[in-house]
Amino acid sequence: AQSVAQPEDQVNVAEGNPLTVKCTYSVSGNPYLFWYVQYPNRGLQFLLKYITGDNLVKGSYGFEAEFNKSQTSFHLKKPSALVSDSALYFCAVSLDSNYQLIWGAGTKLIIKP
């Protein structure tokens, strides 16, 4: 079955430290990969996507993600975390065969001052 996994329900990072939110996928064909962020009481916002080309993708708010085909991963990273980065992060993959997205369960990121 095709799936997206976010193995950590919660990630805790001190402000100023680098952060990583993990995402792995299991799909057939060529995946298009997305990261979205959800702040409290808000809808989801698009952060970045990988379609093709450079494996390192840069997005909004200083975030970046690296596509690793051999490890089927698309981890979200930021060199220096801010308290305002605290939110719920979702990884999603779009398949070759249809227009739907498969979503991960989400990872709660907590940045402590």
Partner 1 sequence: EAQVTQNPRYLITVTGKKLTVTCSQNMNHEYMSWYRQDPGLGLRQIYYSMNVEVTDKGDVPEGYKVSRKEKRNFPLILESPSPNQTSLYFCASSLDSHRSYEQYFGPGTRLTVT
Residue 99 binds partner 1, judged by CB under 8 A? yes
Query: Which of 43, 54, 70, 113 contacts partner 1 by CB under 8 A?
Result: 43
Contacts with partner 1: how many residues (CB under 8 A)?
25
- Closest contact distance (angstroms) between CB of 80 and partner 1 is 25
Residue 75 binds partner 1, judged by CB under 8 A? no
Distance CA 99, CA 101 (A): 7
Q: Looking only at Cα atoms, what is the longest distance across the chain?
A: 44
Residue 110 binds partner 1, judged by CB under 8 A? no
Query: Which of 76, 78, 106, 111 contacts partner 1 by CB under 8 A?
Result: 106
Measuring CA to CA, which residue among 63, 55, 50, 69 is closest to residue 20?
63
Residue 58 binds partner 1, judged by CB under 8 A? no
Distance CA 8, CA 21 (A): 8
Enumerate binding residues for partner 1 (CB under 8 A).
9, 32, 34, 36, 41-46, 49, 51, 90, 92, 94-96, 98-101, 103-106
